[in-house]
Amino acid sequence: MNIIRFSILATLGISIAVSSHASVLTRDNGAPVGDNQNSRTAGSNGSVLLEDVHLIQKLQRFARERIPERVVHARGTGAHGVFKAYRDFSDLTIAAPFSTKSKETPVFVRFSTVIHSKGSPETLRDPRGFATKFYTDQGNWDLVGNNLPVFFIRDAIKFPDMVHSLKPSPITNTQDPNRFFDFFSHEPGATHMLTWVYSDYGTPASYRKMDGWGVHAYKWINKMGQITYVKFHWKSKQGVENLDLDQATEVQGKDFNHLTNDLYNAINNGQHPQWDLYVKTLTPSQLSDFDYNALDATKMWLGVKEVKAGTMTLNKVPNNFFQATEQAAFAPSNTIPGIEPSEDRLLQGRVFSYADTQLHRLGANHQSLPINRPRVSVLNYNKDGQLNMGNTMSDVDYQPSVTAPVSEAPEYKYSRVKLKGTTQQLAISKPMNFAQAGALFRSFSEQQQRNLVRNLAADLGKVKNDQVKHRMLSYFYRADKSFGQQITSAVNGDLDRVQSLAKQGS
């Protein structure tokens, strides 16, 4: 009977929702998903594969959720400036900004809040974006990072889920700790980033007094094709200053644009903020020298020496906020010869998703806009599309061609990396989810620790699901027993239960 009924309905074009005992996650075409936690990679340390259609679809759909506002980093402030190289790094990379000592490269920097919407107060707790566009003589290089050195997740396949949990509820349109802690209770690797965000670093007092981090490892390539892994760190020469919970509340009541106003006023008054760029480098063989995966975005390279690479000065406020700050399009895929993405799984996804987001948000020709336009000539046959401002004079729109020859530059081929193993969908080895979170907690002063516990308890205390709350408490306990005990007491948790969960590793 049911079979006949379904056939009649299908003939009439009426869709049917077939129920089952267990709901199965599917792609948009209805195909079931085998693994929604790990991207498909070429071996245990290899690159993420473009053939992972579930990952690609998640990122494409996620990038198209909102128009015209950015899905993330919607609240932003920008400024122009210049980067001056401190020394010659040509032994490690052919990248133009580091090729000679004292070389100057124009830059545009966009600071932002990650989760909150375009008109939100700048006092709200949030990681801060720190994106730098270098207008080099090899093309534009975008170093797209944050004010914190790590991130919540280590695989781009979880990025839409993470942001969905942090964004307002689709029912109430308000941000809800019950939602995002439900997600993070399944992501023990987020413990390190949560410790950073719920410290006073989550509420900076000034963009000028804030460090920036590239977060991911990248590759530097020299003229012999040799690879060096590198991490970038902007150190504020103004020092670092944050707000505690009371100060943030007070500032919000007086000026919810305090970060933008502080930056603009300083620059307009001739107090041009500066950051020194430092790098940490590792050879490929050194990546395995740690008790954690060195390409894991939830980890810092502790104990690796930093070397100064240059200084950036911001010296000009944009003439028009929309034309510069709002139309500035940053993407980790905007690299130049001598700089390539590492095999970091989160970065591999960002290389695709950021560029795809900008294509959706601003159109196919967004890199022709003045704020995004390279300072060097652009020559390729990417053509047409909305708002194309070109002046095509040739009948040849392909390559190679005899009548209009355009050659490649073989010296700029991608670097070569040996691969072994099989394609897979597995979590990384050596996750070490809690050690660096504990080290960070112990590095804080007693006052900073108290502020962290207070900030965290304000949200975790709102979680109604006892299982979610105690699982989160067990993560903080595993990071540091004192940390776990303090936050458990602050939210009236059951310490015995927390300790039992910590022993179980669940």
Q: What is the CA radius of gyration of the chain?
A: 24
Residue 7: alpha-carbon gap to chain centroid: 48
Exposed / middle / buried, residue 96 (Cβ in 10 Å: 0-12, 13-18, 19+)? buried
**Euclidean distance between CA atoms 256 and 262, whole angstroms:** 11
Residue 458: alpha-carbon gap to chain centroid: 25
Catalytic residue among 73, 116, 233, 366: 73
The answer to whether the CB of 110 falls within 8 A of the CB of 76 is yes
- Please, what's the b/e burial string for 302-338 (b: 16 or more CB within 10 A of its CB; e: otherwise)? eebeeeebbbbbbeebbeeeeebbbbbbbbbbbbbbb
Spatial CA neighbour of 154 closest among 39, 253, 318, 243? 39
Catalytic residue among 146, 147, 365, 455: 146
The answer to whether the CB of 400 falls within 8 A of the CB of 19 is no
The C-alpha torsion from 166 through 498 and 438 to 232, rounded to 10°, is -20
Check if 365 is active-site: no
The answer to whether the CB of 116 falls within 8 A of the CB of 75 is yes
Strand partners, 77: 111
**Euclidean distance between CA atoms 230 and 281, whole angstroms:** 4
Sign of CA dihedral 79, 82, 88, 93: positive
Check if 334 is active-site: no
Active site residues: 73, 146
